[in-house]
Structure 1
């Protein structure tokens, strides 16, 4: 072997790198140990059984991936108890490292470009598992919720947990008969009665999906289905624990999902996914809404004052901004929340309840000069302000200032081009600002520096010269944002 190596060296052929471990993190600015390097996931097949009475979850997740280097070890993000792991049909060894890292050593090295079939068998009580200082899994009176951002996958399936590694999903969940199990996408088959009093629910997501956007909602729900004009199925689900006043407000809002997303499609580009809908959760379970791909989940409290279409607009705008076009790094979260917030302003404008300029003026005048919205830079809010006012409201204000600067034609072309160019991929703030300058033909550096990067109150290009009145839509938008910021 030594002579052969010497001969190869003499030919000038570069020596092949030795197999190496994948990294325990993708290198995110805020969460450097989230996700993993060394492989790319193409598909998750998640097969579970869940018993609400005990909160016991058992499962087998099969991960189809491709090695991006010669790989002799790799990590998964996961917290439940693992009984076995197979890599390419051979038992692998595994060990815990930190609070959410599972280190896997396959029996054989996987070569660069080689297929990886990783089968993980596991079980546990998710509500008892703590990682990153908390438990993201929520136990409810009739089931459970796997809903969260940026962390949730750890509590129900092993993954490469970062938005830059999207995949397609099959989710199959057996729950006691009479209980519903809801997830993303479409139902490739109706619920199937199994033995021992369990029914299996199956869901399929055919478009690339970030791991935190995969959800599981288990409980007793009324499910309403409909079909859009283009033949897509709409699945809306309402907790049977909702009081009549909450249920009526929820239905008056969520049942308008197809109408709202059709309108959003005229602004942001074609609807990017294979299904639509929403889920309204049991009262008191969680306080926020989340833009789970194809099917946002809403806290019941969004409808305590009646209908609230603003939150439906917001979460479905995320289907373009956050779901189809996901952040390349959590530092760029304003690209999700600022855009979804501005969608609410556009909905208000459409319904003659206050123009985007009216809402901008009202916000600008209402926030005190020392409020966190002005002392936090939206393009780099830090983890403490990841879901703060600067990300949501100042992010939306930035977009409005861009609209004022470049005009409506260029502004809406920028939005549609952004969603088209980065469809099913990821984006950064620098890429968005470069696109805005390219389409508008303007130097927008001063505008973006003032509104996105400077931790002080910017001077707007235009605002009301008189004390602005509260736009008619503002109570609904305000309620939406108050709750969203509590996540």
Structure 2
């Protein structure tokens, strides 16, 4: 039975105020950044993307890109407005089928105001129609869209998406993808994942690619041009797709001799890292004048320059190692880049040893001895290098030394358990350096704070390398045979 209680005057008014549910609070705008101190304007707050559906058309002769992006999002707060990271021209935006108001702000922000606010937890469909000439669009003085003689390529870190699709551009917000691009007949389209279909009509061919696993925005890639595409399968049945620009010239043979071993190298990496985390693999080499490679998910990007001195399986090892360390397990913030680069570099050291060249310990000794105590190299802390040093040599080489120091401290049994267990523990998600240290301590049963402080965070050369198994030789050893090829792997910074 319900009883009606009459409360006079002010008490009744107060009672009504208290009865207003918390959800009736005014919706507020989502933050214009994801909260990463390295890149405050990258990513956005207020929503998560679960899927990107990109249906595009591209004309290689003029570099004109146009189409529609459909984002499936979930509001994480009562949301009056939200931002997208994007730099091309937006024609219209609809949210849940209704026209939304939008404006641009900052260097790469599109502010979207839906016709109706979104409630926390509400799923929404955001449809963006857009067009532009990506190679002519600069943000902060650069473009991540590389024009090639027969098309264009999007592959860069930490930003590449702005020039070809609107997004929540931070690794914390991973999503699945469908990428469908129509190009003139005779032109090929390369992207992540598996090729679902390829259809021709009226002089145009539409290529449909799908990435099922969670994928960070910067790991999404698009390459359009004239490619020779090879297809194979691994011994476990996964499709291997490699693509080579038809204009690679003298680099073609070395590129093929390297990428065609991707399946073999991936199976070798599984011995250390556990089962390959995705449903496809391969790589591509467009005709660009870049000098870096990038671990774009399932289909790494390689520069012709990677093969200037001949075949280079070491770069393939590095980029495929990232599929576990960096792609499946992604960083929480860009300061956590050591987890990506330190372990990918270390995989190259393991490959050197496997190929009968220098051992991981010998390479660690050489790297340690090569830099005197007063070398600026030691001032960069791989565990938090700062945005200006995110891809500094110390993140790679001192980062790999830290991995070797861990191995020597905990012993091979615990070390290889950590190496394989970490990608499984956080598969498809995000983690930071503190998470890794805690995991290594849990598996090894050792307290490792001092070790990691010395190798990852101390802005000076560790003074007691022997404690971690390093040689304290005063003279620099002879350069290892595998060193030059290992060092050829680096990443760019365009701003």
TM-score band, normalised by shorter chain: over 0.9
Corresponding residue to 2:227 among 205, 215, 221 = 221
1-structure distance, mates of 2:256, 2:21: 67
Question: Within 2, Cα distance between the matches of 1:280 and 1:3?
Answer: 74
Query: 1:356/1:82 Cα in 2 relative to 1: closer, same or farther (>3 Å)?
Result: same
Aligned length: 480
Aligned-partner Cα distance in 2 for 1:53–1:404: 55
Name which of 232, 240, 253 aligns with 1:234.
240
CA distance 1:376–1:4, change in 2 (3 Å): farther
Cα distance, 1:278–1:112 mapped onto 2, change above 3 Å: same
| C-alpha deviation, 1:471, in angstroms | 2.5
For the structure 1 residues 215 and 443, does the alpha-carbon distance in structure 2 shift closer, same or farther, using more than 3 Å as the test? same
Residues 52/12 of structure 1: CA separation in 2 closer, same or farther (3 Å cut) = closer
Pick from 354, 374, 379 the counterpart of residue 378 of structure 2.
374
1:480 alignment partner, one of 463, 468, 489: 489
The CA distance in 1 between the partners of 2:268 and 2:347, in whole Å, is: 11
Mean Cα displacement is larger for which, 125-134 or 175-184?
125-134
Q: Does 81-90 or 439-448 show the bigger shift?
A: 439-448
- In our comparison, the structure showing a higher alpha carbon Rg is 2
Query: 2 CA distance for matches of 1:480 and 1:372?
Result: 20
Aligned to 2:5: none
Deviations 1:26-61 (A, max 9, x none): 100201111011111000000111111111110100
- My pick for the range that moved more, 443-452 or 364-373, is 364-373
Partner of 2:461: 457
Between the aligned partners of 2:240 and 2:296, the Cα distance in structure 1 is 14
What is residue 260 of structure 1 aligned with on the other side? 265
Aligned equivalents of 2:49, 2:493: Cα separation in 1: 32
Superposed CA RMSD: 1.7
Rounded Cα–Cα distance in structure 2 between residues aligned with 1:347 and 1:398 = 17
3-state SS, counterpart of residue 237 of structure 1: strand
1:165 and 2:173 are equivalent in the alignment: yes
CA contact (8 A) 1:348 1:356 kept: yes
Aligned-pair CA distance for 1:480: 2.8
- Is 1:249 matched up with 2:257? no
The TM-score, its normalising length taken from structure 1, stands at: 0.95
Query: If the length of structure 2 is used for normalisation, what is the TM-score?
Result: 0.94
Higher mean Cα deviation, 422-431 or 123-132? 123-132
Q: 1:135 to 1:486 in 2, by over 3 A?
A: closer
Q: Residue 401 of structure 2 aligns to a residue in which SS?
A: helix
Alpha-carbon distance between aligned partners in 1 of 2:89 and 2:13, rounded to the nearest angstrom: 44
**How do 1:401-416 residues align onto structure 2 when only pairs under 5 Å count?**
401-416=405-420
CA displacement at 1:131 relative to structure 2: 1.2
Distance 1:3 1:160, change over 3 A: farther
Structure 1: stretches of 5+ with no match in the other structure: none
Matched residue, 2:4: none
Q: Gaps spanning 5+ residues in structure 2: where?
A: 1-9
Give the superposition deviation at 1:474. 1.6
Cα 1:57–1:367 shift into 2, 3 Å: same
Separation in 1, partners of 2:246, 2:93:
38
Match of 1:105 in 2: 113
What CA distance in whole angstroms lies between the structure 2 residues aligned with 1:369 and 1:194? 64
Q: Kindly indicate whether residue 431 of structure 2 is the aligned counterpart of residue 427 of structure 1.
A: yes
Per the TM alignment, residue 370 of structure 1 is displaced from its structure 2 partner at its CA by 3.3
Q: Please name the residue that 1:386 is paired with.
A: 390
C-alpha change, 1:6 and 1:349, in structure 2 (3 Å) is same
Superposed displacement of residue 293, structure 1: 0.3
Query: Which residue of structure 1 aligns with residue 30 of structure 2?
Result: 22
SS in 1 for 2:168: coil
Question: 1: CA distance between counterparts of 2:377 and 2:390?
Answer: 12
Contact 1:90 1:106 in 2 (8 A): yes
Matches of 1:377 and 1:439, distance apart in 2:
25
What does the per-residue CA deviation read over 1:287-306, in whole Å, with 9 as the maximum and x for residues that have no partner?
11000000001000111111
Counterpart CA distance in 2 for 1:421 and 1:254 is 29
Q: Please, which of 188, 192, 206 is the counterpart of residue 199 of structure 2? A: 192
- Per the alignment, residue 469 of structure 1 pairs with 478
Superposed, 1:1-400 pairs within 5 Å as 6-11=14-19, 14=22, 16-189=24-197, 191-195=198-202, 197-243=203-249, 245-284=250-289, 286-400=290-404
Corresponding residue of 2:7: none
Matched residues in 2 for 1:4 and 1:182: separation?
Answer: 67
SS where residue 391 of structure 1 aligns? helix
SS in 2 for 1:298: coil
Question: What secondary structure is seen at the aligned counterpart in 2 of 1:28?
Answer: coil
Residue 486 of structure 1 deviates from its aligned partner by 7.0
Deviations, residues 108-158 of structure 1 (Å, cap 9, x unaligned): 111111111000000011111111331111111111011111111000000
CA separation of 1:293 and 1:7: change in aligned 2, threshold 3 A:
same
- Contact 2:157 2:492 (C-alpha < 8 Å) held by counterparts: no
Question: Does the 8 A contact of 1:25 with 1:33 survive in 2?
Answer: yes
Deviations 1:244-269 (A, max 9, x none): x3111111110000000011111111
